């Protein structure tokens, strides 16, 4: 029999391309030959993110391994100024960097990263007194996320700093309510390339007429380039006139401030004004039945983390008959939702559901979704000891793994099933 090491490297690299990142790490531990093959093939690690903490515990061999893979995405937890220096020496080509629970207020060393275009700063131990550290990155940043941060700088200074990041295409600003900006006009007028915005709305009770207006004078009322909008802690009244500049909006996500809503469903105004929406995500607020009749027929993607009943899904299927992507996390534990999906939404390509309250028969019945290619199981954990409910294992139970296997057999393995082990480590954790 031919020795495995005598097979062409190209063949092994093709095999490795089908492995998960955990399996790749396991394979590189089997022998020095596989370790070298894996470490020196950059395409195998494309999209791979690594979380680093306490950099003093990593030796030179570890850093050399990361450098050979030419990683372009890193999350640094609990870091300090000296850690940025070390990181820039070994991984100078980083393109995406997340600073998690940053210690101190000095992030001036970011200027060392000349290729970073995506930056996330989250959960700083001290308030950010200014955003001057962003200025050296002004001509390269296309994505900026300031999440769960305290801002000690005046709003005018914040807006001035953000306005100089003229290449930004995505901006996320999540704070504790300390920032009070009456309108976004000052930001939107300067960031002409911005197409994705996520903003904390806890301070707003009513949106002013010029809240989304990009300019004054002859350009007033012009449509923004903004195509994706995410509103965090939202409970503000709005009129159709305020929403006129959002004619190009294709994706709307609303995270409501209160789980018990007020008497007026503001989402009705949004949906009736934005008839070209392709994607809608709603978390909290009023029950689905209150605004289901306002859903635009243009919807292709829908996320519902709300109070909903099986009969509400029938309204959704009528209002949005061309749904391709559906994410359901109902507040109620209705077991009848899953069994309705093949009948109501036959064109689904991707589906995210909880399985604990669905019967095995209903779960396996998803094979009738002929176009389904990705299924995400949102509650892929289990309690191994019924006598100790506090003990939770955060991985799929043996029973769930068997159900997944049975479902894949029924679909001839054309459906990819995702569980908690597939969580991306870098996105914002505020939502």
Q: pLDDT tens-digit profile of 303-350?
A: 999 989 899 999 999 999 999 999 999 887 666 899 999 999 999 999
Cβ atoms 212, 242 nearer than 8 A: yes
DSSP code for 159 = H
Mean per-residue pLDDT for 195-203? 92
Structure pTM?
0.84
Partners of residue 279 on adjacent β-strands: 251, 301
CA neighbor of 97 nearest in space, from 125, 71, 73, 115: 73
Q: pLDDT tens-digit profile of 164-198?
A: 898 999 999 988 777 788 888 878 888 889 999 99
Cβ atoms 186, 211 nearer than 8 A: no
CA neighbor of 132 nearest in space, from 116, 115, 152: 152
Percentage of the chain beyond pLDDT 70 is 90
Q: 329: burial class by Cβ within 10 Å (0-12, 13-18, 19+)?
A: middle
Q: Where on the phi/psi map is residue 78: left (φ > 0), alpha (ψ -120 to 50), or beta?
A: left
Q: pLDDT tens-digit profile of 368-427?
A: 999 999 999 988 787 888 788 788 888 888 888 999 999 999 999 999 998 865 555 555
């Amino acid at each position: 029999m031919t020795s495995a090491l005598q097979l062409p490297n190209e063949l092994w690299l093709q095999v490795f391309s089908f492995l998960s990142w955990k399996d790749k790490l396991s394979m590189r531990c089997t022998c020095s030959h596989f370790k070298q093959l894996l470490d020196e093939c950059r395409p195998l690690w494309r999209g791979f993110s690594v979380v680093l903490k306490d950099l003093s515990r990593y030796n030179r061999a570890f850093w050399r391994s990361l450098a050979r893979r030419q990683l372009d995405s890193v999350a640094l937890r609990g870091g300090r100024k000296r850690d940025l220096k070390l990181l820039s020496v070994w991984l100078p080509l980083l393109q995406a960097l997340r600073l998690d629970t940053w210690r101190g207020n000095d992030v001036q060393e970011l200027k060392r990263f000349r290729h970073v275009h995506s930056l996330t700063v989250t959960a700083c131990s001290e308030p950010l007194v200014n955003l001057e550290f962003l200025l050296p990155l002004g001509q390269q940043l296309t994505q900026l996320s300031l999440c769960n941060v305290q801002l000690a700088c005046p709003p005018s200074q914040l807006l001035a700093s953000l306005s100089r990041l003229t290449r930004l295409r995505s901006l996320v600003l999540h704070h504790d309510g300390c920032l009070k900006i009456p309108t976004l006009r000052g930001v939107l007028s300067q960031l002409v390339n911005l197409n994705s915005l996520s903003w904390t709305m806890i301070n707003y009770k009513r949106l002013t007429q010029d809240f989304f207006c990009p300019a004054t004078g002859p350009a007033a009322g012009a449509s923004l380039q903004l195509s994706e909008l995410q509103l965090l802690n939202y409970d503000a009244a709005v009129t159709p006139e305020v929403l006129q500049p959002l004619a190009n909006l294709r994706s709307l996500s609303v995270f409501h401030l209160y789980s018990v809503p007020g008497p007026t469903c503001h989402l009705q105004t949004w949906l009736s004004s934005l008839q070209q929406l392709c994607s809608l995500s709603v978390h909290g607020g009023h029950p689905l039945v209150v605004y289901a009749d306002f859903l635009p027929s243009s919807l292709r993607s829908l996320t519902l983390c709300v109070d909903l009943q099986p009969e509400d899904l029938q309204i959704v299927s009528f209002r949005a008959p061309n749904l391709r992507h559906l994410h359901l996390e109902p507040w109620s534990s209705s077991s009848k939702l899953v069994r309705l999906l093949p009948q109501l939404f036959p064109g689904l390509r991707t589906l995210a559901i909880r399985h604990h309250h669905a019967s095995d028969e209903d779960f396996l019945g998803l094979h009738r979704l002929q176009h389904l290619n990705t299924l995400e199981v949102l509650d892929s954990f289990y309690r191994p000891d019924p006598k100790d409910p506090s003990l939770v294992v955060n991985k799929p139970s043996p029973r769930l793994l068997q159900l997944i296997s049975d479902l894949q057999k029924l679909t001839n393995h054309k459906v990819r099933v995702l569980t908690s082990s597939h969580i991306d480590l870098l996105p914002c954790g505020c939502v």
